[in-house]
Amino acid sequence: MFRLFSTAAGIVIERHGAFFTAPTAFTLDTLFTSTDPHALLGGTLATAQTTAAPASVSLLAPVRSQEVWAAGVTYYRSRSARMAESVDASGGTFYDKVYEADRPEIFFKATPHRVAAPNTGVRIRADSKWNVPEPELTLAITSAGKIFGYTLGNDMSSRDIEGANPLYLPQAKVYDRCAALGPCLVVTEALPAADAVVALEIRRIGTVVYSGETTLGQIKRSLPSLADWLFRDNAFPHGAYLMTGTGIVPPDAFTLQSSDEIRITLAAVGTLMNFVL
Protein backbone atom coordinates (compact mmCIF):
# COMPACT_ATOMS: atom_id res chain seq x y z
CA MET A 1 0.00 0.00 0.00
CA PHE A 2 1.18 3.51 -0.87
CA ARG A 3 -0.12 6.83 0.39
CA LEU A 4 0.27 9.88 -1.85
CA PHE A 5 0.21 13.45 -0.59
CA SER A 6 -0.15 16.32 -3.02
CA THR A 7 1.84 19.43 -2.10
CA ALA A 8 2.87 22.65 -3.81
CA ALA A 9 6.36 21.17 -4.20
CA GLY A 10 5.07 17.99 -5.86
CA ILE A 11 3.92 14.51 -4.89
CA VAL A 12 5.16 12.93 -1.68
CA ILE A 13 4.84 9.13 -1.49
CA GLU A 14 4.69 7.27 1.81
CA ARG A 15 5.34 3.56 2.18
CA HIS A 16 5.97 1.63 5.40
CA GLY A 17 6.41 4.90 7.28
CA ALA A 18 9.11 6.30 4.96
CA PHE A 19 8.48 9.36 2.77
CA PHE A 20 9.82 10.04 -0.72
CA THR A 21 9.63 12.99 -3.09
CA ALA A 22 8.43 11.79 -6.49
CA PRO A 23 10.29 12.95 -9.62
CA THR A 24 8.99 16.20 -11.09
CA ALA A 25 7.60 14.38 -14.14
CA PHE A 26 5.38 12.24 -11.93
CA THR A 27 1.89 13.72 -11.56
CA LEU A 28 -1.53 12.52 -10.51
CA ASP A 29 -2.52 12.51 -14.18
CA THR A 30 0.35 10.08 -14.81
CA LEU A 31 -1.01 7.84 -12.09
CA PHE A 32 -4.65 7.97 -13.19
CA THR A 33 -3.75 7.11 -16.80
CA SER A 34 -1.42 4.23 -15.91
CA THR A 35 -2.42 0.67 -16.74
CA ASP A 36 -0.95 -0.46 -13.42
CA PRO A 37 -0.72 2.38 -10.87
CA HIS A 38 0.60 0.09 -8.12
CA ALA A 39 3.52 -1.11 -10.26
CA LEU A 40 4.15 2.44 -11.47
CA LEU A 41 4.59 3.64 -7.89
CA GLY A 42 6.92 0.77 -7.10
CA GLY A 43 9.15 1.78 -10.00
CA THR A 44 8.92 5.46 -9.10
CA LEU A 45 10.27 4.82 -5.61
CA ALA A 46 13.44 3.36 -7.14
CA THR A 47 14.48 6.86 -8.25
CA ALA A 48 12.74 8.96 -5.59
CA GLN A 49 14.57 10.91 -2.91
CA THR A 50 13.76 10.43 0.77
CA THR A 51 12.12 13.39 2.47
CA ALA A 52 10.28 14.42 5.62
CA ALA A 53 6.56 13.92 6.11
CA PRO A 54 4.61 16.79 4.54
CA ALA A 55 3.09 19.35 6.90
CA SER A 56 -0.69 19.08 7.01
CA VAL A 57 -1.08 22.80 6.39
CA SER A 58 0.77 22.52 3.08
CA LEU A 59 -1.40 19.78 1.56
CA LEU A 60 -3.32 20.23 -1.66
CA ALA A 61 -6.33 18.20 -2.68
CA PRO A 62 -5.12 14.99 -4.40
CA VAL A 63 -6.66 15.97 -7.72
CA ARG A 64 -5.28 17.41 -10.94
CA SER A 65 -7.40 16.90 -14.08
CA GLN A 66 -9.87 14.38 -12.62
CA GLU A 67 -13.60 15.01 -12.54
CA VAL A 68 -15.34 14.22 -9.26
CA TRP A 69 -18.64 12.32 -9.42
CA ALA A 70 -20.85 10.97 -6.67
CA ALA A 71 -23.30 8.16 -6.01
CA GLY A 72 -26.37 8.76 -3.89
CA VAL A 73 -28.81 6.71 -1.81
CA THR A 74 -26.31 3.87 -1.38
CA TYR A 75 -26.92 3.61 2.39
CA TYR A 76 -30.32 2.94 4.00
CA ARG A 77 -29.81 5.99 6.24
CA SER A 78 -29.33 8.21 3.21
CA ARG A 79 -32.46 6.78 1.61
CA SER A 80 -34.52 7.59 4.70
CA ALA A 81 -33.15 11.13 4.95
CA ARG A 82 -33.75 11.91 1.27
CA MET A 83 -37.32 10.60 1.47
CA ALA A 84 -38.06 12.67 4.57
CA GLU A 85 -36.64 15.93 3.26
CA SER A 86 -38.55 15.72 -0.05
CA VAL A 87 -41.93 14.51 1.21
CA ASP A 88 -43.57 17.95 0.82
CA ALA A 89 -42.45 18.02 -2.82
CA SER A 90 -43.93 14.53 -3.41
CA GLY A 91 -40.45 13.34 -4.34
CA GLY A 92 -39.95 10.81 -1.56
CA THR A 93 -40.72 7.77 -3.67
CA PHE A 94 -37.93 8.68 -6.11
CA TYR A 95 -35.31 7.84 -3.50
CA ASP A 96 -37.05 4.67 -2.36
CA LYS A 97 -37.17 3.44 -5.95
CA VAL A 98 -33.53 4.23 -6.74
CA TYR A 99 -32.39 2.50 -3.54
CA GLU A 100 -33.98 -0.72 -4.80
CA ALA A 101 -33.24 -0.29 -8.52
CA ASP A 102 -30.43 -1.95 -10.45
CA ARG A 103 -29.31 1.45 -11.77
CA PRO A 104 -27.75 3.63 -9.03
CA GLU A 105 -28.05 7.36 -8.68
CA ILE A 106 -24.81 8.84 -10.05
CA PHE A 107 -24.31 12.56 -10.55
CA PHE A 108 -21.58 15.02 -11.40
CA LYS A 109 -20.09 16.68 -8.32
CA ALA A 110 -17.06 18.88 -9.06
CA THR A 111 -14.34 19.95 -11.43
CA PRO A 112 -10.85 20.21 -9.89
CA HIS A 113 -11.08 23.95 -9.23
CA ARG A 114 -14.21 23.45 -7.10
CA VAL A 115 -12.45 20.97 -4.77
CA ALA A 116 -11.13 22.26 -1.44
CA ALA A 117 -7.80 21.08 -0.07
CA PRO A 118 -7.45 19.63 3.44
CA ASN A 119 -7.39 22.26 6.20
CA THR A 120 -9.01 24.88 3.96
CA GLY A 121 -12.53 26.21 3.65
CA VAL A 122 -15.59 24.61 2.11
CA ARG A 123 -18.69 26.63 1.33
CA ILE A 124 -22.39 26.59 2.05
CA ARG A 125 -24.73 28.27 -0.40
CA ALA A 126 -25.95 31.76 0.43
CA ASP A 127 -29.45 30.85 -0.80
CA SER A 128 -29.74 27.75 1.41
CA LYS A 129 -30.75 27.47 5.06
CA TRP A 130 -30.10 23.74 5.63
CA ASN A 131 -26.59 22.53 4.86
CA VAL A 132 -24.67 19.42 5.92
CA PRO A 133 -21.42 17.64 5.11
CA GLU A 134 -21.61 14.14 3.68
CA PRO A 135 -18.53 12.02 4.57
CA GLU A 136 -17.82 9.48 1.86
CA LEU A 137 -15.32 6.86 0.84
CA THR A 138 -14.14 8.11 -2.54
CA LEU A 139 -12.82 5.74 -5.18
CA ALA A 140 -9.85 6.59 -7.42
CA ILE A 141 -10.46 5.15 -10.90
CA THR A 142 -8.06 5.07 -13.85
CA SER A 143 -8.94 6.29 -17.33
CA ALA A 144 -9.53 2.62 -18.23
CA GLY A 145 -12.09 2.23 -15.44
CA LYS A 146 -9.94 0.34 -12.93
CA ILE A 147 -10.32 1.12 -9.21
CA PHE A 148 -6.79 1.49 -7.88
CA GLY A 149 -7.23 3.31 -4.60
CA TYR A 150 -9.34 5.60 -2.49
CA THR A 151 -9.44 8.75 -0.40
CA LEU A 152 -11.97 10.60 1.75
CA GLY A 153 -14.50 13.00 0.31
CA ASN A 154 -16.82 15.62 1.74
CA ASP A 155 -19.89 15.97 -0.46
CA MET A 156 -21.33 19.25 0.80
CA SER A 157 -25.08 19.31 0.36
CA SER A 158 -27.91 21.86 0.59
CA ARG A 159 -30.71 19.66 1.90
CA ASP A 160 -33.48 22.24 1.62
CA ILE A 161 -32.75 22.91 -2.06
CA GLU A 162 -32.64 19.22 -3.00
CA GLY A 163 -35.69 18.51 -0.84
CA ALA A 164 -37.75 21.24 -2.49
CA ASN A 165 -37.51 19.44 -5.83
CA PRO A 166 -35.21 16.58 -6.93
CA LEU A 167 -34.58 18.50 -10.16
CA TYR A 168 -32.65 21.04 -8.10
CA LEU A 169 -29.98 18.43 -7.29
CA PRO A 170 -27.20 20.12 -9.35
CA GLN A 171 -27.73 23.39 -7.48
CA ALA A 172 -27.75 21.60 -4.13
CA LYS A 173 -24.52 19.81 -4.95
CA VAL A 174 -22.38 21.77 -7.44
CA TYR A 175 -20.96 25.19 -6.57
CA ASP A 176 -17.62 26.74 -5.56
CA ARG A 177 -15.83 24.66 -2.89
CA CYS A 178 -18.70 22.19 -2.77
CA ALA A 179 -16.35 19.26 -2.17
CA ALA A 180 -13.15 18.38 -0.37
CA LEU A 181 -10.75 15.46 -0.89
CA GLY A 182 -7.84 14.12 1.14
CA PRO A 183 -5.74 14.22 3.15
CA CYS A 184 -4.02 11.58 1.00
CA LEU A 185 -4.71 9.13 -1.79
CA VAL A 186 -4.28 5.49 -0.78
CA VAL A 187 -3.07 3.33 -3.67
CA THR A 188 -3.70 -0.33 -2.98
CA GLU A 189 -4.86 -3.51 -4.66
CA ALA A 190 -7.41 -4.10 -1.87
CA LEU A 191 -10.37 -1.91 -0.96
CA PRO A 192 -11.16 -1.25 2.72
CA ALA A 193 -12.86 -4.07 4.62
CA ALA A 194 -16.58 -4.03 5.33
CA ASP A 195 -15.91 -3.26 9.00
CA ALA A 196 -13.83 -0.16 8.18
CA VAL A 197 -15.30 2.84 10.02
CA VAL A 198 -16.00 6.25 8.51
CA ALA A 199 -16.48 8.82 11.26
CA LEU A 200 -17.73 12.41 11.22
CA GLU A 201 -17.22 15.09 13.87
CA ILE A 202 -18.39 18.71 13.63
CA ARG A 203 -16.97 21.26 16.04
CA ARG A 204 -18.34 24.73 16.71
CA ILE A 205 -16.21 27.17 18.69
CA GLY A 206 -14.22 24.22 20.02
CA THR A 207 -17.26 22.17 21.09
CA VAL A 208 -18.42 18.99 19.35
CA VAL A 209 -21.97 19.69 18.13
CA TYR A 210 -22.40 16.48 16.13
CA SER A 211 -20.60 13.16 15.75
CA GLY A 212 -21.53 9.94 14.03
CA GLU A 213 -20.03 6.95 12.30
CA THR A 214 -20.86 4.10 9.94
CA THR A 215 -19.12 1.11 8.43
CA LEU A 216 -18.48 0.52 4.75
CA GLY A 217 -20.37 -2.75 5.01
CA GLN A 218 -23.57 -0.70 5.22
CA ILE A 219 -23.26 0.32 1.56
CA LYS A 220 -25.99 -1.50 -0.36
CA ARG A 221 -24.12 -1.72 -3.66
CA SER A 222 -20.74 -3.21 -4.47
CA LEU A 223 -18.03 -0.62 -5.08
CA PRO A 224 -16.91 -2.13 -8.42
CA SER A 225 -20.50 -1.96 -9.66
CA LEU A 226 -20.66 1.78 -8.91
CA ALA A 227 -17.47 2.32 -10.92
CA ASP A 228 -18.89 0.22 -13.74
CA TRP A 229 -22.05 2.34 -13.92
CA LEU A 230 -20.03 5.56 -13.93
CA PHE A 231 -17.97 4.42 -16.92
CA ARG A 232 -20.90 3.17 -18.99
CA ASP A 233 -21.00 5.26 -22.18
CA ASN A 234 -18.68 7.76 -20.52
CA ALA A 235 -15.00 8.53 -21.04
CA PHE A 236 -12.60 9.99 -18.50
CA PRO A 237 -9.26 10.71 -20.25
CA HIS A 238 -7.60 11.61 -16.94
CA GLY A 239 -9.49 9.17 -14.73
CA ALA A 240 -12.07 10.11 -12.13
CA TYR A 241 -13.00 10.16 -8.48
CA LEU A 242 -16.30 8.64 -7.37
CA MET A 243 -17.81 9.44 -4.00
CA THR A 244 -19.77 6.38 -2.86
CA GLY A 245 -22.54 7.89 -0.73
CA THR A 246 -22.99 8.66 2.94
CA GLY A 247 -24.38 6.68 5.84
CA ILE A 248 -24.01 9.54 8.33
CA VAL A 249 -26.78 12.16 8.35
CA PRO A 250 -27.07 14.79 11.11
CA PRO A 251 -30.56 15.33 12.58
CA ASP A 252 -33.00 17.51 10.68
CA ALA A 253 -32.60 20.37 13.17
CA PHE A 254 -28.89 20.63 12.43
CA THR A 255 -27.32 22.92 9.85
CA LEU A 256 -23.73 24.03 9.34
CA GLN A 257 -22.64 27.52 10.31
CA SER A 258 -19.67 29.63 9.26
CA SER A 259 -16.42 28.62 11.00
CA ASP A 260 -17.66 25.12 11.87
CA GLU A 261 -14.88 22.52 11.65
CA ILE A 262 -15.70 19.30 9.77
CA ARG A 263 -13.53 16.26 10.53
CA ILE A 264 -13.95 13.06 8.51
CA THR A 265 -11.83 10.04 9.42
CA LEU A 266 -11.01 6.67 7.88
CA ALA A 267 -8.05 4.84 9.44
CA ALA A 268 -6.00 4.19 6.28
CA VAL A 269 -6.51 7.72 4.93
CA GLY A 270 -6.37 9.79 8.10
CA THR A 271 -8.56 12.78 8.92
CA LEU A 272 -9.89 15.22 6.34
CA MET A 273 -10.46 18.53 8.11
CA ASN A 274 -12.15 21.56 6.59
CA PHE A 275 -13.85 24.60 8.00
CA VAL A 276 -16.94 26.37 6.71
CA LEU A 277 -16.29 29.72 5.07
Q: In this predicted structure, what is the pLDDT of residue 246?
A: 94
* Residue of higher predicted confidence among 166 and 82: 166
Contacts of residue 40, Cβ cutoff 8 Å, sequence gap at least 6:
30, 31, 34
Q: In this predicted structure, what is the pLDDT of residue 75?
A: 86
pLDDT for 50-109, tens place per residue?
A: 999 999 989 999 999 999 999 998 886 565 655 566 555 555 577 778 888 899 999 999
SS3 199: strand
H-helix segments, the chain: 28-32, 37-45, 76-85, 92-100, 159-164, 169-173, 223-231
> pLDDT-derived band of residue 47, with 50, 70 and 90 as boundaries?
confident
Rounded to two decimals, what is the model's pTM? Answer: 0.95
Q: In this predicted structure, what is the pLDDT of residue 137?
A: 98
- Give me the chain's average pLDDT, please: 93
- Give me the CATH code for the 67-276 domain, please: 3.90.850.10
* Residue of higher predicted confidence among 171 and 86: 171
One-character DSSP codes across 92-155: HHHHHHHHHSSSPEEEEEE-GGGEEPTTSEE---TT-S-EE--EEEEEEE-TTS-EEEEEEEEE
pLDDT for 236-266, tens place per residue?
A: 999 999 999 999 999 999 999 999 999 999 9
- Range(s) for CATH 3.90.850.10 in the chain? 67-276
Q: In this predicted structure, what is the pLDDT of residue 97?
A: 80
Is the model's pLDDT at 1 over the cut of 80? Answer: yes
